[in-house]
Amino acid sequence: RAKSAGKAQFARYSDELQQQAQRQLELQSALAQASARGELRLVYQPICQLDGNQPQLIGVEALLRWQHQGRDISPLEFIPCLEESGEILAVGDWVLQQACSQVRSWQLNGQPQLRCSVNLSSRQLQQSDFAARVADILRHSGLPPSSLVLEITESQLMADSAQNLACLRELASLGIQLALDDFGTGYSSLGYLKRFPLHIIKVDKSFIAGAPQDGESLAISRAIIGLGHSLGLAVVAEGVEKQAQLDFLGGEGCHYAQGYWFSRPRAPHELQRLLNGEDCFDGLWCPLPAEGV
Ligand code: C2E
Ligand code: MG
Ligand code: MG
Ligand code: MG
């Protein structure tokens, strides 16, 4: 009986694998035409500074969206396809161009200090001319290098650390800020914090989700924030959804936060309304963006 149960389970498993592979192929061929069809767009999620009485909007993270056959596919599903096919290089350039010009236009319209965060894949860092392309994009958009934050996850950094390191050094020497995304979830090696020229760590939302009621999540978040402080890195908490999490983070001296409590990622015109003071955060506040940060 055990044997036949095992067989059935294996059949189910390989069925699932086959379906996954099929889905991947379908997405890949649909994606090949997505940008030509105008199906890709960016949304922007506020990042807030916590010190002071009221959180203040100091930057936005650009997040890629793909609307395929009328519905949004998660980047967790389609980014790996773009990486696999190599299209992430062209799409990644497009994301950078779009985000830098958008944030530059917000800067010129009354938010001179607004920062622009963009996610990178390691495939992009593996291009030997990547830093030069980013410099070009900055020049074209007029965005100051110090207003750009490039985010990369630990697992992406692992991929080819010598080339990644060289590229990150070049980017940092342009004056761009570098953030380690989803910190604590990869094959976390604290060595990365020393080896790579980082300015910011982002505490993964899975730790914030459990805090402050779950003791382990709380301990891990607290330790990461402390580590950031000791190393002179700015710490951003991701996935803040509740006032209690914000209170906890404030108490730990975490200076920046991002999450649905403030705002979901928004289309540019919706973010514009927030900047104009015509709309509130999704949580409690009607923020005035920070001045002179
Ligand atoms: P990420 O860079 O860690 O981005 C944060 C993710 O958390 C976003 O998911 C955001 O919508 C979500 N999020 C924000 N606040 C909350 C919250 O309070 N609760 C919860 N549960 N989630 C929250 P999204 O947009 O689905 O993106 C997923 C991942 O896809 C990103 O994670 C990033 O790694 C990747 N990604 C997105 N856009 C790009 C891109 O342009 N290029 C590359 N290479 N990767 C991208
Ligand atoms: Mg990110
Ligand atoms: Mg993240
Ligand atoms: Mg993430």
What is this structure's pTM?
A: 0.92
Ligand 1 touching residue 230 (CB < 6 A): no
Lowest mean pLDDT among 120-124, 183-187, 224-228, 280-284: 280-284
For residue 243, report the distance from its CA to the centre of ligand 2, in Å. Answer: 22
* pLDDT of residue 292 exceeding 50: no
Among protein residues, the one whose CA lies closest to atom 12 of ligand 1: 239
Ligand 1 touching residue 260 (CB < 6 A): yes
CA 7 from chain centre, in angstroms, equals 41
* pLDDT of residue 111 exceeding 90: yes
Which ranges of 42-87 does DSSP label H, i.e. alpha helix?
75-85
CA distance 219 to 104: 38
* pLDDT of residue 21 exceeding 60: yes
Ligand 1 touching residue 205 (CB < 6 A): yes
What ipTM was assigned to the predicted interfaces of this complex?
0.98
CB 247 within 8 A of CB 239: no
- pLDDT for 293 equals 43
- pLDDT for 180 equals 95
Burial 35-56 (b: 16+ CB within 10 A, else e): eeeebbebbbbbbbbbeeeebb
For residue 188, report the distance from its CA to the centre of ligand 2, in Å. Answer: 17
Token pair listed for 38: 């105008």
Ligand 1 touching residue 75 (CB < 6 A): yes
Which residues fall inside 5 Å of ion ligand 4, going by CB? 182
For residue 63, report the distance from its CA to the centre of ligand 1, in Å. Answer: 6
Residue 235 φ then ψ, to 5°: -120, 130
CB 178 within 8 A of CB 149: yes
Ligand 1 touching residue 79 (CB < 6 A): yes
CA distance 183 to 203: 5
Q: With H, G, I as helix, E, B as strand and everything else as coil, classify residue 176.
A: coil
Question: How many angstroms separate the first and last alpha carbons of the chain?
Answer: 68
Ligand whose nearest atom lies closest to the CA of 95:
1
- pLDDT for 286 equals 59
Q: With H, G, I as helix, E, B as strand and everything else as coil, classify residue 50.
A: coil
Ligand 1 touching residue 80 (CB < 6 A): no
CA-CA distances (angstroms) from residue 77 to 25, 31, 33, 73?
Answer: 12, 11, 16, 7
- pLDDT for 291 equals 54
* pLDDT of residue 13 exceeding 80: no
